[in-house]
Structure 1
Amino acid sequence: MTGFVSSLTEPGQSGGLSRRAWIVVMLLAVIAHFPGLFSIPAMDRDEARYAQASRQMMETGDFVDIRFQGDPRHVKPSGIYWLQVITTQPFGGDDAPIGAHRLPSFFGSLIAVALTAFLGARLFSPSVGLVAGIVMGLGLAMQIEARTAKTDAALLAAGMFAQVALAMLMLKVQDAKPKFWGWPAVFWAGTGAAIAIKGPIFFMVTALTLIGFVALKRDLKLLLKIKPLPGLLLALAIFLPWLIAINIQTDWGFFQEAVGHALFGKVGVADDSHGGPFGYHTLLMPVTLWPASALLGLAGLAAWARRGETAVQFLLVWILPSWLVFELIQTKLPHYVSPMFPAIAILIGLGLVNAKALLSGWKQWTLFGVIAALAIVVGALVGLVPWIGQIEFGEPVSLASKLTAVMGALAVISLIWLAFKPDLTRLLAVSVASVAVYVVAFGVAIPGVHKLWPSYNAARIAETFTGCETLDVATAGYREPSNVFNFSTDVLLGRDGAETATFLLAHPQCGLAIVDQSEQAGFEAGLGGASVRQLAELEGYNAVKGRELTLRFYTLENSALQVPAQ
């Protein structure tokens, strides 16, 4: 084992990671991120909206305007939707399952892992790059983003091209006037792609990194290395054509909504109730960076001990200004600070590689031990999540949930082992145990928590009905976007039971009303005495609103819809 670990830290032919080290880093990331990609149903609300909007692009052939049903979705640029359109083609296009829509996030997370490992190796050593890549590949927040059909993992991949290029230009390129078609072009192409995916969010991180580094070095000539004029033209060429087209098509409606609400609206007010105190992201680090959050103390010690080194200074100006911005804005979600995770991962790698020298006294060991203890507590909870969920919902605890708990216990044991002697060998043991947790939890246990997926289960029930080739579906009391993705674009998300009853009366042959008990009285009143048949009943849980559901499936008495004979 010692010989294998030593071989991973040997430099490759170009001075970076060796082939064996690359295989280990990427294999761990793939095995950690893939399970559940296709088995976890569409999640509410954002994921279902993104995936459905991409599906409607394919249904309508309009790849400029972004819509969820008939409503404009002018909160993010088109980049992520186009990527989802591309990845769904081998899986049926507009009939593709949710997993196909998640592939841009899956590949984006792998690219971010690879670029983090590359940068760590180039700035410091193959050992640092190896650890940094493993840390990024195993982070709990990245597990969520890699499996979610949204912008953030793809954004991180695009933004990382810009950050890596910036690091190479600021730290490694000795020529004061590098050729544009090299790292400067990579910098601006990454910036343009990031803006095309989610607007200027990652560009803010890159700009603050550049400004902070130039100010720290007191050298304005560093700005010339990024080739601002041709670079800006390249970035504009990537995102501007669609931006012009959508604003012409919507009479500047996209700009008003995207900038006024989706960007500036989140700064002063907690958008969609996603608020949090100052320090929110910092307090969540033991969770978002788990299991490597056990090594955050080493990252801090390494940053302090080597704060005079230019490469460390670059990482610090990458992390600190943007982290402060995200702590100050009112709207907060755990993934907002993910653009800084690669820099933190590299510092963790630097800390682990130099752990023996850094942990030289009781103060250093105390800092390291307290933070490691937090990660150990988080590990115990991570393994119990599916088990707790099934108990909370009154479901039998599945074998997969029990296995997840066992894997979680092994991960905790390996973390304790790592805390006593932080080194690469023990980190690899933690990695294997953590990957085992993710494989069982995301691949089997979480999809198996039946009540978490009411719209998916409702659609599967509706598929069993006979008598109609196409159903006319309306819901009441459960209006989440996943209903649209799981049923069809024209499903009616009824405002109340009366509206759903009116819809059912207007579709006498193949109408299907799915009514939660909270809207039962309004639905019955809206029927005006018309007779209906109950076809099925489903217990579920609306995770967005945090309440139990009892969904009943109704059709008119004389409709063609039938329950198949048992």
Structure 2
Amino acid sequence: MKFGIDRPSKLFQHWEQPVPAWTLSIIWIFLISFVAFIWHLGSIGLVDETEPLFAEAARQMTETGDWITPYFNGATRFDKPPLIYWLMAIAYQTIGVNEWAVRLPSALAAIALTTMGFYTLKQFGFPSPAAAETAAVPNLPHKTSRQRWLAAWIGAAMMALNTHTIVWARTGVSDMLLSGCMGIALLAFFCGYAQPARPQVQARWYLAFYVLSALAVLTKGPVGIVLPVLIIGAFLLYVGNGWTVLREMRLLRGGLIFLAIAVPWYILVIQANGQEYIDSFFGYHNFERFTEVVNRHDAPWYFYFFAVLVGFAPWSLYLPVAIARLRIWQRTHWQQQPRATHLGLFVSSWLLIIFSFFTIAVTKLPSYVLPLMPAAAILVALLWSEQITRPQISRSVLITGIVNTIFLAALAGAVLYSPNWLGDDPTMRNLPEVIRQSGLLPWGAASWAIAAIVMLVLLLRRRGRWLWLVNFMGFFAFIVFAVMPAFSVVDGLRQLPLRQLSATMLQAQQPQEILTMLGFQKPSLVFYTERPILFISDPDDLEDQLEQLFEQNTPSVLMVAFPHKLREADLEPEQYQLVEQAGAYQLIRIQLPLKEN
């Protein structure tokens, strides 16, 4: 049985002309970027527990004028370098202190990365060395041009429309900014590497690599340059032209540019904070995260196999085929090919180095593999651009397509069953029932079920060229009709009550009254009240804390707590006044000194 493709239509041939193709491409990138990164970006509140830490540190920079040392809740915050805070602070000063401003740097980084991925694939997205050789023949450019346009369109869609990228591009933390800076830097390197006959163009791309690598270091520290060096080093070692390329890159000049951008802030922050900063940032947040388990973020060695499978689904199913088709073991063959044909090899090094690096690291988080998603998208896009333009799809892609169909059907079932996995968060115990009543589950399940049915029909009717499009449409529908509305539902249960209590606290706070939180930490209260919050983690410590506050002439405290935490602290109803209840939280006032039980 052969699974063939139709001949290119006249309409597609028309799209290949420069003006229609670029017009269509701009519309395409705008559409996928809008849905993935911009649509409803600021419609839900900041999500505890990490996002408000970044948002408030940036707000305090604008309030204090100290753009060197980040602070949160009156204490230094040395977790991350300042670029994400600076960009948020600039956004605050431009569009105001709100959720849009917090998330805008992440969204823009994702859009820039998607656009750069499109450009790189359009220029160098040859699915094979043979395709590049065909492109060099004056009378035979048509097929390879079509393949590169297809690779660019498909690759941009995969870069934007995957779970990992969508989540972190809509979150005001440093992960997407790191992925954007590092990813664009690596693609800039390749654009320079692939054009040895154009030294001026090559020099500009290498300059962009140095600048963006420096910005990556200002986003998340040494990892911003360590990973690119490992990726490029492994790639050059494989192709065997390392010394030539390093001379082209003008390492001395590039290194000075890199240092001039990346180093000054580190010097200033160390001057301002001394050994405390060195121990916290370089010691704890870098060295210890790699060598030890930090904040209980441990996982088995195979954790990232599942993280990539789920985070890049459904495209991840095609990654093994996309890597295997390159035949990396044929090193001599690849060393004889022009540089412009090496994109698949380069992104393979990119993916494997990042995957291996964080697999070795002891502390494990799903977000750590976010920077490999662009490489995965390029690999799968190269695979599909080849499959679409060949007489019949390969047996390996056919088998993967069958697995893909089963996977989509399983996703449909998982969506319907998902409420049974919810309910662990004490702030929204009734989430499973609310999700069931929202009507979102049938929409989400239908998105994947219809996609699975269509994919099965296409396989049976020998239309394998459209399998990638079915995945795209299924994912697109799932995001639009299920995921985005679900964000609002969860926000209404988990974060909206805290925003409501924040507004009440600002209205109800009396002179010299202290704002406190008992039994847990929700940093969003600090951001929304724009006030310092005293966190009392252990209910058993409440009485001693209240005594200390009374000795400091504090007349009363406003406290946010769960009811069961008040009982754990042995507080009786007559010892406090209930000010407001929102969701699972209570806002109470305790007059000092505390009344005896």
Q: TM-score range by the shorter chain?
A: 0.7 to 0.9
SS at match of 2:489: coil
1:302 aligns with one of 315, 325, 328:
325
Distance 1:198 1:406, change over 3 A: same
| CA shift for structure 1 position 424 | 6.4
| CA shift for structure 1 position 553 | 2.0
Alignment match, 1:284: 307
| CA shift for structure 1 position 156 | 1.7
**Which stretches in structure 1 are left out of the alignment for 5+ residues?**
541-550, 560-566
Indicate whether 1:552 and 2:597 are aligned.
no
Amino acid at match of 1:381: A
| CA shift for structure 1 position 504 | 7.8
Counterpart Cα distance in 1 of 2:328 and 2:442: 38
Distance 1:54 1:301, change over 3 A: same
Amino acid at match of 1:414: A
Indicate whether 1:190 and 2:196 are aligned.
no
Which is worse superposed, 123-132 or 30-39? Answer: 30-39
Which is worse superposed, 431-440 or 141-150? Answer: 431-440
SS at match of 2:588: strand
- Check whether the contact 1:302–1:358 (CA below 8 A) recurs between aligned residues: no
Alignment match, 1:517: 563
| CA shift for structure 1 position 382 | 5.4
| CA shift for structure 1 position 384 | 6.7
What do residues 509-553 of structure 1 show as CA deviations (whole Å, max 9, x unaligned)? 77422222343246455x9x984222233443xxxxxxxxxx332
Amino acid at match of 1:290: A
Amino acid at match of 1:323: F
Counterpart Cα distance in 1 of 2:327 and 2:261: 39
What do residues 490-525 of structure 1 show as CA deviations (whole Å, max 9, x unaligned)? 121123333564588678777422222343246455
SS at match of 1:446: helix
Indicate whether 1:365 and 2:407 are aligned.
no
Distance 1:379 1:271, change over 3 A: farther
Alignment match, 1:326: 358
- Check whether the contact 2:408–2:451 (CA below 8 A) recurs between aligned residues: no
Distance 1:453 1:86, change over 3 A: same
Which is worse superposed, 397-406 or 34-43? Answer: 397-406
Amino acid at match of 2:18: G
Counterpart Cα distance in 1 of 2:251 and 2:582: 58
SS at match of 2:439: helix
Amino acid at match of 1:113: T
CA RMSD in angstroms comes to 3.5
Distance 1:42 1:288, change over 3 A: same
Alignment match, 1:45: 49
Counterpart Cα distance in 1 of 2:81 and 2:373: 24
Alignment match, 2:136: none
Which is worse superposed, 431-440 or 148-157? Answer: 431-440
Amino acid at match of 1:292: W
1:34 aligns with one of 38, 42, 66:
38
What do residues 16-61 of structure 1 show as CA deviations (whole Å, max 9, x unaligned)? 9622123113311211222442122212222121111111111211
Alignment match, 1:543: none
Which is worse superposed, 477-486 or 341-350? Answer: 477-486
Which is worse superposed, 297-306 or 258-267? Answer: 297-306
Indicate whether 1:457 and 2:489 are aligned.
no
Amino acid at match of 2:177: A
Alignment match, 2:99: 98
* TM-score, structure 1 normalization: 0.85
Alignment match, 2:131: none
- Check whether the contact 2:45–2:491 (CA below 8 A) recurs between aligned residues: no
1:258 aligns with one of 238, 256, 281:
281
Amino acid at match of 2:273: T
| CA shift for structure 1 position 284 | 2.5
- Check whether the contact 1:128–1:349 (CA below 8 A) recurs between aligned residues: yes
Which has the greater radius of gyration? 2
**Which stretches in structure 2 are left out of the alignment for 5+ residues?**
1-7, 126-147, 335-340
| CA shift for structure 1 position 182 | 0.9
* TM-score, structure 2 normalization: 0.80
Amino acid at match of 1:498: E
Which is worse superposed, 148-157 or 132-141? Answer: 148-157
Indicate whether 1:434 and 2:475 are aligned.
yes
Identity %: 21
What do residues 82-111 of structure 1 show as CA deviations (whole Å, max 9, x unaligned)? 01101122333xxx1233211100111111
| CA shift for structure 1 position 322 | 2.6
What do residues 248-303 of structure 1 show as CA deviations (whole Å, max 9, x unaligned)? 00114322221111111112222211122222212222211123234335423533
Counterpart Cα distance in 2 of 1:167 and 1:34: 29
- Check whether the contact 1:474–1:513 (CA below 8 A) recurs between aligned residues: yes
Distance 1:9 1:75, change over 3 A: farther
Counterpart Cα distance in 1 of 2:291 and 2:592: 54
